[in-house]
Amino acid sequence: MKRILTLAAAILIAVVLATIAVAVTADATERKVKTWGTRTIYVQESLPRGYDVHRAVEAWDNRSRLNLVLVKRCPKGKACIKFTAGRRPGHAVATTWAWQTSKRIVKCDVVMDTRKLNGLSAKRRLSSISHETGHCLGFRHDHHRTNLMHGTNTQARSWKPSAAHYAALARTYGR
């Protein structure tokens, strides 16, 4: 009888923790503050080989009406995300700046510290690119350590956005 009670308590705790994790992830995706004013966003890649921007961008692109278009150079005056190589201070491997008007994101610059990222696996680099793309689309850091949009994302289970992020994208930009 004691074992059954212990097992029941363990199951109850696991269910409560899983519910909290889902709630935290959903909360993080609901706190989007800015969006793009257009559905077509150009993505300029200026990173060395081994940085699979195309794959990371496609993971975000295929779940909403957003149309993320990879280009060598962004058209003048168009919505654009630019990935470039550069040094970042401290432990940061990347920095994202989303340039905004009062209501909309108009461009996004991502600087990846390739000097730090070169020593990491291809999956970890892909995860970093996907994470920064999430920032460019308006997502903030969330609190779930295994989620792509966690502040450090070193424990992310996948380099792809979560189901909650895809749902938030569809609500924001349409399916």
Identify which of 82-86, 97-101, 138-142 has the greatest average pLDDT.
82-86
Residue 175 pLDDT greater than 80, yes or no? no
Average pLDDT over residues 115-142: 88
| Domain 35-173 sits in CATH 3.40.50.300 | no
Q: What is the band of 20 on the pLDDT scale with cuts at 50, 70, 90?
A: very low
Tokens standing for residue 104: 């909309």
Sign of CA dihedral 139, 141, 143, 144: positive
Average pLDDT over residues 132-153: 83
Domain ranges of the chain: 35-173
Distance CA 24, CA 16 (A): 12
Contact 104, 79 (CB under 8 A): no
Distance CA 151, CA 136 (A): 15
Contact 35, 173 (CB under 8 A): yes
Q: Which of 89, 90, 87, 154 is nearest to 114 (CA)?
A: 87
Helix axes 53-61, 122-136, angle to 10 degrees: 50
Q: What is the band of 169 on the pLDDT scale with cuts at 50, 70, 90?
A: confident
Which residues make Cβ contacts (< 8 Å) with residue 85, sequence separation at least 6? Answer: 46, 47, 48, 111, 112, 113, 114
Contact 85, 112 (CB under 8 A): yes
